[in-house]
């Protein structure tokens, strides 16, 4: 679990730094570029479409883990729109809360009792 926590910590720090530099250089105008590449049917668009699928699955999993409660749906939307910036922080906190129990981490605390 420590290696996993180290990995998500590194991802969190890296994406925060990368995002800050990107926003500084290009502004906040992500969505038109993201969906524009998908509409062009090229390799960057294919990557974005694949990534969008991963974001949807991530959001669905987070919502499911919280039994689709209002908070769970809100966290799922954050996962969908926040990507690894949200998910790395979420997994870091959830891994601490699970105290090393992988089943609890993946399924949620009330599914492993």
**Using one digit for the tens of pLDDT, what is the confidence trace for 15-49?**
999 999 999 999 999 999 999 999 999 999 999 99
Mean pLDDT along residues 48-56? 98
Residue 67 has pLDDT above 70, yes or no: yes
CA distances from 75 to 13, 52, 86 (A): 20, 17, 9
Residue 10 has pLDDT above 90, yes or no: yes
Residue-range definition of the domain harbouring residue 59: 44-102
**Are 62 and 72 contacting, i.e. CB atoms less than 8 angstroms apart?**
yes
pLDDT in tens, 98-110: 998 999 999 998 8
Flag whether 54 is in a domain: yes
Flag whether 2 is in a domain: no
Domain count, the chain: 1
Can you give the pLDDT at residue 51?
Answer: 97
């Amino acid at each position: 679990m420590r290696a996993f926590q180290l990995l998500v910590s590194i991802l969190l720090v890296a994406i925060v730094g990368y995002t800050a530099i990107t926003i500084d250089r290009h502004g906040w105008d992500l969505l038109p570029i993201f969906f524009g590449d998908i509409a062009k049917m090229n390799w960057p668009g294919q990557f974005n479409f694949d990534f969008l699928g991963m974001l949807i699955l991530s959001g669905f999993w987070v919502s499911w883990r919280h039994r689709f409660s209002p908070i769970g749906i809100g966290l799922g939307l954050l996962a969908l729109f926040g990507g690894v910036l949200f998910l790395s922080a979420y997994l870091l906190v959830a891994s601490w809360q699970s105290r090393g129990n992988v089943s609890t981490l993946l399924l949620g605390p009330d599914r492993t009792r």
